[in-house]
Amino acid sequence: MSAPDRSDTYYYALGRRKSATARVRLFKGKGEIIVNDKPAADYFSNSKYLLNKLNEPFLAVDLINKFDVSVKVLGGGHDGQIEAIRAGISKALVVHNSDLRSTLKRAGLLGRDPREKERKKFGLKGARKQRQFTKR
């Protein structure tokens, strides 16, 4: 059995979260999600919580099992990668149909979460942790 032909049109978007970057392509299909050439269930080690977060954009706009998703994701941990993929899927759905924008925006799926790791400062143990103070 050969892989499905992906030469047809697709909708592309980029999603980011913390240090994770996800390049997302949406194809017309039956709901298959491929992350870095592996099924999402294998890539995210069968975590139901993380896999449910992947389907949130589709649930918000009632398009579950209408698109196949192909993702290349780099950087970050699993949670940051899931958030980046989710943002990318949401943006790609807006590229597909701009009428979905308001629904996805209300669901909180289009905004970029700006929180990043704070850098370590010199003289400290981390970003903010200091050495224990002794009066004498």
The answer to whether 44 and 95 are in contact (CB under 8 A) is: no
Give the chain's end-to-end CA distance (angstroms, integer).
76
| Per-residue confidence band for 45, with pLDDT thresholds at 50, 70 and 90 | confident
- Reported as a single tens digit per residue, the pLDDT across 82-118 is 999 999 999 999 999 999 999 999 999 998 888 999 9
Q: What percent of the chain has pLDDT over 70?
A: 95
| Per-residue confidence band for 47, with pLDDT thresholds at 50, 70 and 90 | confident
| Per-residue confidence band for 1, with pLDDT thresholds at 50, 70 and 90 | very low
Q: Is the dihedral of CA 54, 95, 84, 110 positive or negative?
A: negative
- Give which of 11, 8, 37 is closest to 24, Cα–Cα: 11
Q: What is the pLDDT of residue 5?
A: 53
CATH number belonging to the domain at 11-106, selected among 1.10.10.10, 3.30.230.10, 2.30.40.10, 3.40.50.620: 3.30.230.10
What CA–CA distance (Å, rounded) separates 33 from 71?
8
What CA–CA distance (Å, rounded) separates 23 from 104?
19
| Per-residue confidence band for 7, with pLDDT thresholds at 50, 70 and 90 | low
Q: pTM of the entire structure? A: 0.85
